Chains A and B, each alone.
Chain A
Amino acid sequence: MSLVRQDEAPRSLWQDAGAALRQNRAATVAALVLALITLSVVVLPEVLPFGYEQTDWDHIATGPSLGTGHLLGTDALGRDLLVRTLWGGRVSLLVALVATAVSLLIGVTYGAVAGYAGGRIDQVMMRIVDILYALPFMFLVILLMVLFGRNLVLIFVAIGAINWLDMARIVRGQTLSLRNREFVEAARAGGVPAARIIRRHIVPNLLGVVVVYVTLTIPHVILVESFLSFLGLGVQEPMTSWGALVNEGAQELETSWWMIVFPSAFLAVTLFCCNFLGDGLRDALDPRDRSHR
């Protein structure tokens, strides 16, 4: 152990960020709500007495009511809307999670390496990104469907494969400007190997931009998934997602308001929370911002 008296405890970036995040009320509430939504999406469908494809012939397109047991009502085929919304949440959140994880993992690594290496390596790496960009997204999805058959996993792969390209570009741009900062030069002068510089200096300093971009990616991905489902390329009936539910609800807007209101509310609350949490994280990850609070 160290014998040095330290007026503040040793700490890491993430410990500090966690502490700062807890001080930010909006972000804390957002995180709690997100956790609640995630928990209910995972647990409730197992507990509730209805299945997502089970039709209740006595209550077709009935409004929310305690008496019928359909708390959020039923859809045009008599299926419980709460259960369907929760199942839709499973799909939407999973797509968002996987696609974001893919774009984070590949995009940040790829972009940081390209930006830090610079020169010819950067040129080659970014031209590969440009080529992938040029592939039409729909064509890619249809091709995958034809080759491997319809499959939820494929949708994750397709969306993830497109999203990391944006992330890589953004991260590379940021890295280019970070690379010439003096603290990176100081690390090079200190003999720190390139991989370690990227890990310790470049990536932590990218986090602000990355977090903001992720909060934009999540809604985007959820919407892309619902678009695919609408075209018949995504999740198929009777399985559903938030995007698909909102789409269905929109068609019944004049007769059954609850069919669009509840899934939209889930979607909107989730996206709101993502944004608040993202903002909070960005501030929390920047030590310079913390002292003002």
Chain B
Amino acid sequence: MSAPLLDVADLNVEFATPAGPLHAVRDLGFALQPGETLGIVGESGSGKSQAMLALLGLLAANGRASGRAMFEGADLLALGETALDRVRGARIAMVFQDPMTSLNPYLTVGRQMGLVLAAHRALAGAPARRACAEMLEAVGIPEAGRRLDQFPHELSGGMRQRVMIATALLCRPALLVADEPTTALDVTVQAQILALMRDLRERFGTAVILITHDLSVVAGMADRLLVMQQGQCRETGPAAEIFAAPRDAYTRSLLAAVPRLDRPAALVPPPREVAGAPLLEAEGLRVEFAVAATRPLGRPRRLQAVAGVSFGLAPGEILGVVGESGCGKSTLGRALLRLVPVAGGRVGYLGRDLTALDSAELDPLRRDLQIVFQDPLASLDPRMTVRDIVAEPLETFEPTLDDGVCTNKVAEMLTRVGLDPSHMNRYPHQFSGGQCQRIAIARALITRPRLVVCDEAVSALDVSVRAQILRLLLELRRLLDLSLVFIGHDLAVIRQVSQRVMVMYLGRIMEMAPAETLFATPRHPYTRALLAAAPIPDPVVERARERIGLPGEPPSPLSPPSGCVFRTRCRWAVARCATEVPPLAAHGASQVACLRAAEI
């Protein structure tokens, strides 16, 4: 073995906090060969990001790192600021999670990239511009010359992350540190960025450290893995070996907790035969938002977030709604509960049209219709105690209820969702993310609703917590005979919990089918592309997969394409697709909105 590019030993990171020192990283050690890809995997708070920030001297002011990190003959931890500046950006480059916040909104792409060249290669003017344009082309950005003069907000999310990667690679660094580079991106765009990173690694021979919480992302990327928990390394070794035979108990539990898209659901019972009238029924549901006009005094434009969605939900059924960001899935969930104004169509609940009711008539029905949101902490009022938060719907619907009885009911509900009822006088910020989501679930269920909309209810949680919350939701569904509308972007999670799945794109239903049918025989080209793009936490499967990437990104919902909205990214599109709007038609057990569904 040749000399390692980066050799870290005994890395410790401590933060001085008012509550005493916080040991974020303990005795971490690893070596990275030139051109190798190391995946650092861990849940939030495992210290994976802090370890990397410490190496680059980017810790917060109250942080202190000790140990040794040899990189190209120098100890990174012993270098002064000026010496570090010569390494950072030139020899080691970093790509962060959110491309929008890590690009300066006031500088054009060309200016930002130029800053790196000016600092490290003393390059400016036309040669710098040429170098930037070349690099943008290398990361697959079309019309690179024109992009240089654009601002970050004029680019799409995927484009921005490409710009970040291009900026990082400008000085041909020996090491690229990517901290959750695809977490903020949609699954099809994530697939593009991962493919790009694989390709660039080959072309430039850059070593990569990929920090992520998502085991499926590292499965296709990493040569070696390092699993972290609470600041310590639990297991390290070749990725294939760890995935095939994890030795550490924590790694095993982590792998077991990751839902797999290529395996049938273990969590949900098969759907019961639907008897009688549906619980909830949407017909041609439309939701529009007014968007400010581009010209002063111009007419505001209408954005169709949900453009004619029809479906029925049987009592006790779990419907999964999946799609990329901006496809209208969350808006649909809110429209079902009339949390956003409905522009057209109707929502029938037990035979009553919710869209025709005024708020006085609707409020009593809200008892039956509840929602759980994505961000558990944001959905709890920070200034109320848990008891008051959970009791609020109860006090609304049964204002005569005695305080003590109310408290007892809250305690009972908290026990049910797996929380200690004696903590009910604490505030939300004193709980972890998973516990906060349990509180949100308790609040949604305390009035014994018939339907709960779960809007990305587990997306913000760590994998192991995610599995617990999913199990809890399904258990409660069984006990309380709930119907669930489960909205998510993660196909593997949707597969775990749904009986029927609806795939949305630009506010329209592309395909709706029983879960097993949809995942076994996807019929719509978009469904197929989604399934192909979703990474699978298994290096063997991941390497053997045929990659049929979906090019580009979804068009703006302000100006959807004519005819079939998916045609601009569809590889089966023909001339007819631009003129005819495909109806949702039955094909076997599935309903598919594609003119060529029968042929492909």
Cα separation A58 to B274 with both chains bound (whole Å):
103
Q: Determine if A291 and B381 form an interchain contact, defined as CB atoms under 8 angstroms apart.
A: no
A192-B396, A205-B381, A287-B427 known; A292 vs B19 contact (CB < 8 Å): yes
Q: Give CA–CA (A186, B428) in the complex, Å.
A: 15
What is the bound-complex CA distance between A10 and B369, given in angstroms? Answer: 29
Closest partner residue, chain B, to A4 (CB atom): B411
B237-254 interface with A by 8 A CB criterion: none
Q: Choose among A11, A189, A205 the residue that contacts B366 (Cβ–Cβ < 8 A).
A: A189
B375 touches A182 (CB 8 A): yes
8 Å CB contacts to A: which residues of B295-346? 334, 337, 339
> Given the known A-B contacts A182-B379, A191-B397, A204-B383, are A288 and B339 also in contact in the complex, defined by CB atoms under 8 Å?
no
A185 touches B373 (CB 8 A): yes
Interchain CB contact (< 8 A) of A182 among B19, B373, B383, B411:
B373
In the assembled complex, B219 has its CB within 8 A of some CB on chain A: no
Q: How far is the CB of A181 from chain B (nearest CB, A)?
A: 6
Q: Counting CB contacts under 8 A, is B416 at the interface? A: no
List B165-195 residues whose CB lies under 8 Å from chain A.
none
B407 nearest CB neighbor, chain A only: A2
Which of the segments B45-53, B93-101, B418-426, B552-560 contacts the partner chain? B418-426
* B443 in the interface (beta carbon within 8 A): yes
Is B370 an interface position by the 8 A CB rule?
yes
Give residues 391-411 of B contacting A (CB, 8 Å). Answer: 392-393, 396-397, 403-404, 407-408, 411
Contacts of B371 in A (CB 8 A): 185-186, 189
* B261 close to chain A: CB less than 8 A: no
**Per-residue contact bits, chain A 191-214, to B (CB 8 Å; 1 contact, 0 not):** 111001000110011010000000
Q: In the bound complex, how far is the Cα of B337 from the Cα of A185, in angstroms?
A: 11
Asked if A4 and B408 sit within 8 Å, CB to CB, the answer is: yes
> Residues of A contacting B370 with CB < 8 Å?
189-190
Q: Is the CB of A189 within 8 A of B422?
A: no
Q: Which of A4, A9, A200, A204 has the most CB of B within 10 A?
A: A4
- B363 in complex: contacting residue of A191, A205, A288, CB < 8 Å: A191
The verdict on A255 contacting chain B, using a C-beta distance below 8 Å, is no
A192 contacts which of B374, B380, B392 (Cβ < 8 Å)? Answer: B392
Q: Report whether B364 and A191 are in contact in the complex, using a CB–CB cutoff of 8 Å.
A: yes
Contacts of B83 in A (CB 8 A): none
B382 surroundings in chain A (CB, below 8 A): 183, 205, 286-288
Which of B334, B392, B396 neighbours the largest number of chain A CB atoms within 10 Å of its CB?
Answer: B392
Residues from 418 to 472 in B contacting A, C-beta threshold 8 Å: 421-427, 429-430, 440, 443, 447
Residue B276 is within 8 A (CB to CB) of chain A in the complex: no
Q: Given A186-B443, A191-B364, A193-B363, A11 and B385 touching (CB < 8 A)?
A: yes
A1 near B: Cβ within 8 Å? yes
Which residue from chain B places its CB closest to the CB of A190 in the assembled complex? B393
B500 within 8 A of A: no
Contacts of A250 in B (CB 8 A): none
Which of B364, B374, B407 sits near A4, CB closer than 8 Å? Answer: B407
With a cutoff of 8 Å between Cβ atoms, the chain A residues found around residue B397 in the complex are 191
Contact of A183 among B374, B381, B407, B447 (CB under 8 A): B381
The verdict on B387 contacting chain A, using a C-beta distance below 8 Å, is yes
Determine whether the beta carbon of A181 is less than 8 Å from that of B396.
no
Contacting B at CB under 8 A, from A1-50, are: 1-11, 13
Closest to A194 in B: B359
Is A187 interfacial (CB 8 A cutoff)?
yes
Nearest B residue (CB) for A182: B379
| Measured CA separation A6–B19 after assembly (Å) | 25
With beta carbons under 8 angstroms apart, the residue of A9, A13, A182, A287 that contacts B429 is: A287
- Tell whether B367 is near chain A: CB-to-CB under 8 Å: yes
A220 at the interface (CB under 8 A from B): no
A127 within 8 A of B: no
Q: Which residue of A lies closest to B403 (CB)?
A: A2
Q: How far is the CB of A207 from chain B (nearest CB, A)?
A: 8
Check B125 for interface membership: any CB of A closer than 8 A.
Answer: no
Compute how far the CA of A287 lies from the CA of B389 in the bound complex, rounded to whole angstroms.
14
Q: Which of these, A5, A183, A200, A293, contacts B378 with CB under 8 Å?
A: A183
Q: Which residues of A contact B73 (CB under 8 A)?
A: none
List the B side residues contacting A11 at CB < 8 Å: 385, 425
How far, in whole Å, are A193 and B396 apart by their CA atoms in the complex? 8
In the complex, chain A residues whose CB is within 8 Å of the CB of B383? 13, 204-205, 207, 285-287
Q: In the complex, what's the smallest C-beta–C-beta distance from A184 to chain B, in angstroms?
A: 8
Distance of B467 from chain A, by nearest CB (Å): 23
Contact with A along B351-380 (1 / 0, CB 8 A): 000000000000110110111011100111
Cβ distance A293 to chain B, nearest Cβ, rounded Å: 8
Q: Given contacts A1-B404, A189-B371, A190-B396, is CB(A201)–CB(B385) below 8 Å?
A: no
- Smallest CB separation, B451 vs chain A (Å): 11
Q: Is B18 an interface residue (CB 8 A)?
A: yes
In the complex, what distance in Å separates the CA atom of A21 from the CA atom of B40?
A: 44
List which A165-196 residues lie within 8 A (CB) of chain B.
181-183, 185-193, 196
Query: Please, which residues of chain B bring their CB within 8 A of the CB of A6?
Result: 421-422, 424-425
Most B Cβ at <10 Å: residue of A10, A189, A207: A189
Q: Are B375 and A190 in contact (CB under 8 A)?
A: no
Q: How far is the CA of A168 from the CA of B375 in the complex (A)?
A: 30
Once bound together, how far apart are the Cα atoms of A176 and B429, in whole Å?
23
Q: A174: shortest Cβ distance to chain B, in Å?
A: 14
CB distance from A46 to the nearest CB of B (A): 42
How far is A249 from B421 in the complex, measured between Cα atoms in Å? 63
Check if B364 sits within 8 Å of A2, measured CB to CB: no
Query: In the assembly, what is the distance between CA of A201 and CA of B384, in Å?
Result: 8
Q: Which residues of chain B have C-beta atoms less than 8 A from A181's C-beta?
A: 378
Residues of A within 8 A of B380 (CB): 183, 186
Flag if B430 contacts A291 (CB, 8 Å). Answer: yes
A2 vs B408: C-alpha distance when bound (angstroms): 6
A21 and B429 CA atoms in complex are apart in Å by 19
Q: Mark A248-276, 1 if CB is under 8 A from B, else 0.
A: 00000000000000000000000000000
How many whole Å from B515's CB to the nearest CB in chain A?
Answer: 26
Query: What residues of chain B lie closer than 8 Å to A186, measured between beta carbons?
Result: 371, 373, 379-380, 440, 443
Q: Which residues from B are CB-within-8-Å of A190?
A: 366, 370, 392-393, 396, 443, 447
Assembly CA distance A291 to B145 (angstroms)? 52
Known: A5-B422, A190-B396. A183 touches B427 (CB 8 A): no
Q: How far is B447's CA from A204's CA once the two chains are assembled, in angstroms?
A: 25
A99 to B370, CA, bound (A): 43
B403 contacts which chain A residues (CB < 8 A)? 2
Q: A9: nearest residue on chain B (CB-CB)?
A: B425
- By a CB distance below 8 angstroms, the chain A residues around B374 are 182
Decide yes or no: A7 and B422 within 8 Å by CB, A190-B443, A191-B364, A291-B429 being known contacts. yes
Residues of A with C-beta under 8 A to B404 = 1-3
- Nearest 3 Cβ contacts at the A-B interface: A191-B366, A182-B379, A190-B393
- What are 17 A-B contacts defined by CB distance under 8 Å? A3-B404, A5-B422, A8-B423, A8-B426, A10-B407, A182-B373, A183-B379, A183-B381, A185-B373, A186-B440, A190-B370, A190-B393, A191-B367, A192-B392, A193-B363, A288-B429, A291-B430
Given contacts A181-B378, A183-B378, A196-B396, 7 further A-B contacts (CB under 8 A): A1-B404, A7-B422, A8-B425, A13-B384, A182-B373, A188-B339, A189-B371
